[in-house]
Structure 1
Amino acid sequence: MTALLLDRRQLLLGGAALLAIGGPARAEASTVRITVEKLAFVPEEITVRAGDTIEWVNKDPFAHTATVKGGWEVAIPPGKTGTRVAAAGDDIEYYCRFHPNMKGRIVVSA
């Protein structure tokens, strides 16, 4: 029984030490920007992690969308931004509903 208590105490002290020094490294969510300009998504393909925010910045004088067929759509007004938080399984191709020749791809890494 004494050995069990000692093991628990060591485990608690070890955990407290990790918390004191910041714990194990943890990746923070970030924002990945895509510029919409001259009827193109730049860059055309991005790789993000689940939880990252994707932000489309529209520099064109007209509206665009980031549309997934049968899925979601983000409106991107002229001179404004549109955002979406990447989810696991979001490996998709998207396009602008108003300008179907505009295409992009999002890959979600583990």
Structure 2
Amino acid sequence: MGVRSLMAASGALMLSFLAFTPLSRGAEPQVYVIEINKLAFGSAPAGLHVNDIIEWRNSDIFRHTATADDGSFDIDLLPGAKGQTVLKRPGVIDYTCRFHPGMKGRLVVGP
């Protein structure tokens, strides 16, 4: 096999490798804050991905939870407290407060 043939073959191999390698969106997970106040969850952030971190901040005078309907997290927050959860899988995660079932939210997590 000649030098040009080897170069062409290695180039084709590299292109096929790149075609099947997922693109990285960045080296570090992002941290997003959802504030709880006046018996309501703040807006869920857009553009969430697996391994991103949600920081829950209870700015209310009542105790609250951020409890995933699928059981993937259950953060109990006294007034003034903070807690975090790492998003482990893509998909839609609905959540509520166990103490105030009218408080609801939804996270949409991409890969």
Distance in 2, matches of 1:63 and 1:76, equals 6
* Matched length: 94
> Which position in structure 2 is the counterpart of 1:56?
56
- Could you tell me the TM-score, scaled by structure 2's length? 0.70
Structure 1: runs of 5+ lacking an equivalent: 8-23
> Which position in structure 2 is the counterpart of 1:46?
45
**What residue identity is the alignment partner of 1:79?**
G
Structure 2: runs of 5+ lacking an equivalent: 8-22
- Could you tell me the TM-score, scaled by structure 1's length? 0.71
Shift of 1:46: 2.7
Deviation readout 1:58-91 (Å, 9 max, x if unpaired): 0011210111234131112210111100112352
CA contact (8 A) 1:64 1:75 kept: yes
Query: Which consecutive segments of 4 or more residues in structure 1 shift more than 2 A?
Result: none
Distance in 2, matches of 1:56 and 1:106, equals 13
CA contact (8 A) 1:30 1:52 kept: yes
Percent of pairs with identical residues: 42
Coordinate RMSD, CA, aligned:
2.5
> Which stretch shifts more, 28-37 or 71-80?
71-80
